[in-house]
Amino acid sequence: MKQLRVLFVCLGNICRSPTAHGIFERRVAEAGLQDRILIDSAGTGDWHVGRVPDSRASAAALKRGYDLSHLRARQVRPEDFLEFDYLLAMDQQNLWDLQALALPEFAGHLGLFLDFGNSPLKEVPDPYPGGEEGFEAVLDLVEDATSDLLAHLCGQLD
Q: What is the pLDDT of residues 127-148, one digit of tens each?
A: 988 788 899 999 999 999 999 9
The stretch 86-114 carries a mean pLDDT of 97
pLDDT surpasses 80 at 10: yes
Residue spans of the domains in the chain: they are 4-157
Nearest by Cα to 57 from 32, 23, 80: 23
- Around Cβ 106, how many Cβ atoms within 10 Å? 18
Catalytic residue numbers, as ranges: 10, 16, 126
| pTM (predicted TM-score) | 0.97
The stretch 81-104 carries a mean pLDDT of 97
Radius of gyration of the chain (CA): 14
CA–CA separation, 117 and 105 (whole Å):
28
**E strand or H helix at 89:** strand 86-89
Instruction: For domain 4-157, give the CATH number.
Output: 3.40.50.2300
The pLDDT assigned to 158 comes to 75
Q: What's the full length of the chain, in residues?
A: 158
CA–CA separation, 102 and 79 (whole Å):
9
